[in-house]
Amino acid sequence: MRFLKYIFIIFFLISSFAVGAFFYILHHQCIDFSALEHYNPGKPSIVLDDEGNEWARFQLDRREPIPLSQMPPHLIQAFIAAEDWDFFNHAGISWRGIVRSTLVNLYHGRKMQGASTITQQLVKMLFLYSKKTFERKIKEQLYALLIERQFTKEVILETYLNHIYFGCGIYGVQAACQRFWGLRASQISIDQAAVLASIVRSPANYCPILAPQAAHKRRNVILHSMKMLSCINEREYEQAKKMPLAIKDNDSDMIAPHLRETIRVMLENKLGKDRLYTDGLVIQTTLNRKIQIEAQKAFKKQCQQLRKNLLPDIDGALISMDVKTGEIKALIGGYDFNSSRFNRALQAKRQIGSIFKPLIYAAAVQGGMNFSDTEIDEPFELIQQSGTIWAPNNYNHRFNGQITLAYALSHSNNIATIKTLLNVGAQPIINLARACHMTGQFHTYPSLALGCVDTSLYEVTGMFNIFANGGTYVEPHYIKWVKDSWGTKILKTTPKKNQVISGRVCGQVVKVLTHALERIHAFWPQKWLESEAISKTGTTNDSRICWYGGSTPELTTVVSIACDDNRSMGKNIFPLRTAFPVWIGLNSLLPCKQKKFSYDPSLREILVDEKTGELAHELQPGVISILV
């Protein structure tokens, strides 16, 4: 009975084709097969780094058509062996294939082989729907015959290999070779060609990204077929079988995935999906590939260490920007893009702690104070409107008595900073923050001195950069322009720029901010910087987040380390243990042409006792240099 069933199927297919052909001739139906030669799925939008090299692209699917001449013979042979042994002999339909698959299926008692030729598969891809119906099968057979009469075998095969689906949004052998192994189609080996051919039957089941074991097993089946057809010899077959799949882990090598996603969403909203994915836009970004890669290495290494020693869910972010232009050269939005696409560099709002203090002292100097002025570092209490007592402390729970403002800033002293804010007033400090385009809720409370304001790493980076940039704020940005496929600019970034503090005030703050880094250098055993640098740490209550901001004359980088749920990372957890290793790990590897900061020529350097502010004659322990 089962044999009769398959004989009936063969008879039905032949008769169905004959009937379909008859009605086609009867009605003189005109079928346009121009898509076979002129198929255009649209051009992807290309994302460029600051050197004009592609580092990402936006497209509905991965697809890069190439001519048949760029496909090696063993690649073509692998698909012939997997899909259509009689391809170069049949006229669109393989009657031998139908008989063979029927007998094989009859022998196994289930469907083991299909009978569709490569030409029929191409018809289904370009002209028909996928639903299995008798009507579709008739059209598929008829169209296959017509295509074979109109086009050469080479055109059919080239079109097929450029449009076959490999799973995970990958179309065509070139795109598949680049995704799976980072190779061009012309470079792949026999075993890799067999992997590609093995996927076609069922991309969901045999794509090596999704099912490596099944792909490996089916690859060997294709290799055996290639041997049986004399496409390869016994030695090549045995050697190819031993080869691992070696699929490239594309996600681990992805450059700036959080920034890429941010750009994609932004442009999709501004320009629309169709234009972004099919119009061939060119997107010029500010990203520097080397800085980004080194930043990712340093960040990942440190997060892995912190997750091992502290908490497994520690995460964070980083932004590096060009001091003068505001161009973002590196951006890290989190530890693992696959587990979380949330961009902590741009979207997370957290308290910023002591990294806010340079603005307070800039306001103080702008208001007429000097870094040689002193405050008393002592226990401090303030009765709040609610009647409760606010009693802040220093991070080390020690008090130093009389100290200069220079000592207070370079050692991040809390008490002296609160007193400085009370002397200056909160409003001038808030005005400076607003001039730096910080958008948080600023309250005129003394706690503002400790950075009790929620803002993003993006805004902190823009604020801190003013001290390396002579007091001028320049807006951090990551896109320069966008051009359409005709080369016309359709978007252009003009970053905001404004003078926040004078060059004299800025220079005085910068000089003090160099001292904290000098102290770190004294005990840091690893590679150091090639230039001057300024830095400031920030830590919130219970070590919920650690900040480290630092600038060379060319690059400002801010790093944040925290848990997403804002819980404490533990006791005595500070930026020098968490965020600083990322900062120094990146900046110590980068060349810096400009070795020193530029200072206002009217400033002069003096030496003062760091506690009393009295003039000193030589640099020694307890003496600090400032500019006046």
pLDDT computed for residue 25 by the predictor? 40
Query: pLDDT grade, residue 53 (50/70/90)?
Result: very high
Q: If you average pLDDT over residues 587-614, what whole number do you get?
A: 94
Q: Outline where 131-271 has alpha helix (H).
A: 134-150, 153-163, 173-181, 190-199, 203-206, 212-228, 234-242, 257-271
560 contact partners, CB below 8 Å, separation of at least 6: 316, 317, 318, 344, 348, 350, 457, 460, 545, 546, 547, 579
What CA–CA distance (Å, rounded) separates 401 from 376? 5
SS3 104: helix
Domain ranges across the chain:
2-30+61-242, 308-477+502-603
pLDDT computed for residue 153 by the predictor? 83
**Is the pLDDT assigned to residue 427 strictly greater than 90?**
yes
**Is the pLDDT assigned to residue 7 strictly greater than 70?**
no
What CA–CA distance (Å, rounded) separates 147 from 150? 5
Give pLDDT tens digits for 344-365.
999 999 999 999 999 999 999 9
Give pLDDT tens digits for 282-306.
999 999 999 999 999 999 999 999 9
Query: pLDDT grade, residue 448 (50/70/90)?
Result: very high
Q: What pTM value is reported for the model? A: 0.77
Beta bridge partners of 46: 57, 282
pLDDT computed for residue 14 by the predictor? 53
**Is the pLDDT assigned to residue 385 strictly greater than 50?**
yes
Residues 157/161/162/168 CA torsion (nearest 10 deg): 160
Fold classified for 2-30+61-242 = Penicillin binding protein transpeptidase fold (1.10.3810)
Sign of CA dihedral 498, 502, 505, 507: positive
**Is the pLDDT assigned to residue 605 strictly greater than 70?**
yes
Q: If you average pLDDT over residues 370-384, what whole number do you get?
A: 92
**Is the pLDDT assigned to residue 404 strictly greater than 90?**
yes
Q: Assign domain 308-477+502-603 to its CATH architecture.
A: 3-Layer(aba) Sandwich (3.40)
For 239, the token pair is: 């050697």
Q: What phi and psi values does residue 53 have, to the nearest 5 degrees? A: -95, 145
Which carries the bigger pLDDT value, residue 42 or residue 191? Answer: 191
187 contact partners, CB below 8 Å, separation of at least 6: 177
Q: If you average pLDDT over residues 260-272, what whole number do you get?
A: 93
Q: If you average pLDDT over residues 475-491, what whole number do you get?
A: 95
pLDDT computed for residue 26 by the predictor? 40
Give pLDDT tens digits for 93-151.
766 655 655 555 555 455 445 558 887 777 777 766 555 666 656 776 777 777 777 78
Pair 550, 535: CB distance under 8 Å: yes
pLDDT computed for residue 34 by the predictor? 59
Query: Which residue has 């003394």 as its token pair?
Result: 446
The least confident of 57-61, 483-487, 567-571 is 57-61
For 610, the token pair is: 């760091």
Which carries the bigger pLDDT value, residue 10 or residue 231? Answer: 231
Give pLDDT tens digits for 183-230.
999 999 999 999 999 998 888 899 998 899 999 999 999 999 999 999
State the chain's mean pLDDT as an integer. Answer: 87
pLDDT computed for residue 304 by the predictor? 96
Query: pLDDT grade, residue 323 (50/70/90)?
Result: very high
Query: pLDDT grade, residue 8 (50/70/90)?
Result: low
Q: Please give the share of the chain, as a percent, with pLDDT higher than 70.
A: 87
**Is the pLDDT assigned to residue 548 strictly greater than 70?**
yes
Burial classification of residue 234, based on how many CB atoms lie within 10 Å of its CB (0-12 exposed, 13-18 middle, 19 or more buried)? exposed
Smallest CA-to-CA distance from 361 within 322, 416, 314, 294 is with: 416
Query: pLDDT grade, residue 437 (50/70/90)?
Result: very high
**Is the pLDDT assigned to residue 409 strictly greater than 90?**
yes
**Is the pLDDT assigned to residue 557 strictly greater than 60?**
yes
**Is the pLDDT assigned to residue 341 strictly greater than 60?**
yes
